[in-house]
Structure 1
Amino acid sequence: MLQSLFMSKDTELGLFAIYDGHLGDSVPAYLQKNLFPNILKDEEFWTDPNRSISKAYERTDQAILSHSPDLGRGGSTAVTAILINGRKLWVANVGDSRAVLSRRGQAIQMSTDHEPNTERGSIENRGGFVSNMPGDVARVNGQLAVSRAFGDKNLKSHLRSDPDVQSADVDSDTDLLILASDGLWKVMSNQEAVDIARKTKDPVKSAKQLVAEALERDSKDDISCIVVRLKG
């Protein structure tokens, strides 16, 4: 999980991300150090953010795979948000961590949940399969519960790492952004999360309240959450 601010003479960037790893934390740690730098060092980011973000995701995944002897065989989902001068928001994701924007109190999902059943065709075209065992979620090759991820070298030939990228203008009607891992979204709708987060202006307290509510609802998965207050 990362929350930071980059400032230059002409530009203020808010950088926010959730990295939800599986089979260890080495891949999330690598992402935290490298993904945003890979995005921002590309000069094309300032003219075509969508393309630049997509290229950086793919380039970072290739680097993770090339370092697999050190990083291990695990992987990670990711949802990232870049806020430019408090006015333009770019969100990208692979996997099932999610970004939800609040506009006039209405929840707007800014990411795409990459679930095996919804991308079955892509998985099967790559030679893989999707299992649907009773009492369990759908899994790629009976193992991974997402269809896109960083790393996961043993499954990579059947997975994708290209992100879905969305943008939004931030105005006076846009009050907050929630980034969270699937442990939150499995027990809470987008609108419920927005309603809880809007109850307090302190984003740290809002995030803690969301996590507490997910635990109260008996979430069985790990929960990471960031709430970003937007000035509009």
Structure 2
Amino acid sequence: MEDYFDIKTSKINGQTVCMFGIFDGHGGSRAAEYLKERLFENLMKHPQFLTDTKTALSGTYQQTDEDFLDSERDTYRDDGSTASTAVLVGSHLYVANVGDSRTIISKAGKAIPLSEDHKPNRSDERKRIENAGGFIMWAGTWRVGGVLAMSRAFGNRMLKPFVVAEPEIQVNSTKIRNQAIKCKSHVSHKVQLSPFSIILAAVGGVLAMSRAFGNRMLKPFVVAEPEIQFVGQRGVTSGDLKTLLLCLPCIICTKLVDVNPATGELPSFSPVSHVLKWIYESILSLSFFYNNLFISQDQEIDEDLELLVLASDGLWDVVPNEDAVSLARTEEEPEAAARKLTETAFTRGSADNITCIVVRFHHNRANGASPQPG
């Protein structure tokens, strides 16, 4: 068994904090066990935990990865682990992810992913790995250095700095039905309306995810550094300015528009058509439906938020996001919902460990949302 989970509730400076985490180990269980024991403890000790939670999450993920590698320095093991965590601070939900475990929410019955799996064949992850001097290759699936089937992880010393433990801490505005395009922010960002077509410009092998904790042999290609993104009405840009995500309400403008790569802000625009032409060279990915956007995070809690589901890939390999929400909503008790999801994954033939946390939110106008985990 290489899966671990952790649930913690604490009161810090009068603020109630709830933390949920799934840690799926590979190459051994030590990295996942270490994260269960240390990650949230380290996070609560971070001086900016309450004042700048995103910075605290990013710093804690990467420092915990370094600490784990130091603790294993004199061993012959090279364990690694994913980490998908959800942290509720006041009325905000922060989701940080490294690896291919996943977190989703249900809002008014709709499944909304709050993390994107770190796979080496993601164009942005592949480029990050190659820029760090690593490579990916096909060995049954795409793998970093021919070894690891994820691109980010804790541990995995031999894959550093290619497999990183830098989490993606992303932002989602679920009330705006968006089209979105993810592109690199070091170039000039321009978009142009096209009435009939979408044109996308051209833009090792053991690990099948591109970021993970540990994985010593694949560092620096597999890193534990998170991707942190900030949201606005019209644009999202990553904290390190490596990528830019434009969230556009359905349609944009009738002429070329410059996007500020530092803020992601667009000038005013007028809706015209439902089809866009994107004419720059660094497009990474495209999404058309607001509830399918891979972005998420810093999620404002409102009365539409019903469920939070965190699980290892043993669930997601055979249970789509929409199925997970539909199944979980049939159970009033979160523990029963988590059990139903794991049993469903097993009956559908999942060949991996299956670990799942379900949190149900009970809304009270006077007291706000009250999470009930299971």
> Which TM-score band applies after superposition, normalised by the shorter structure?
over 0.9
| Pick aligned residue for 1:73 from 69, 73, 78 | 78
| Correspondence 1:91-170 to 2 at 5 A | 91-118=95-122, 119-133=125-139, 136-165=140-169, 166-170=297-301
| Pick aligned residue for 2:336 from 186, 189, 205 | 205
2:350 maps to what in 1?
219
Q: Distance in 2 between matches of 1:30 and 1:72?
A: 14
**TM-score, normalised relative to structure 2:** 0.59
1 or 2, which has the higher strand percentage?
2
Match of 2:150, SS?
coil
Larger radius of gyration: 2
CA pair 61-8 structure 1, distance change in 2 beyond 3 A: closer
1:27 maps to what in 2?
31
- List gaps (5 residues or longer) in structure 1: none
Q: Distance in 2 between matches of 1:67 and 1:20?
A: 19
1:84 maps to what in 2?
89
Match of 1:188, SS?
coil
Cα offsets for 1:72-116 (capped at 9, x unmatched): 31110000111124x221110100100001100101111121100
- List gaps (5 residues or longer) in structure 2: 170-296, 364-374
Match of 1:117, SS?
coil
Task: Report if the CA contact (8 A) 2:50-2:89 is conserved.
Answer: no
Structure 1 vs Structure 2 CA RMSD: 1.4
Q: Distance in 2 between matches of 1:46 and 1:84?
A: 7
Runs of 4+ in 1 over 3 A off after TM superposition: none
Aligned residues: 229
2:361 maps to what in 1?
230
Task: Report if the CA contact (8 A) 2:58-2:166 is conserved.
Answer: yes
2:287 maps to what in 1?
none
| Pick aligned residue for 2:17 from 13, 20, 24 | 13
Please tell me the residue identity of whatever aligns with 1:125: N
Task: Report if the CA contact (8 A) 1:64-1:71 is conserved.
Answer: no
Q: Distance in 2 between matches of 1:107 and 1:217?
A: 20
Q: Distance in 2 between matches of 1:110 and 1:48?
A: 19
Q: Distance in 2 between matches of 1:35 and 1:193?
A: 26
Q: Distance in 2 between matches of 1:198 and 1:43?
A: 37
CA pair 73-175 structure 1, distance change in 2 beyond 3 A: same
Match of 1:230, SS?
strand
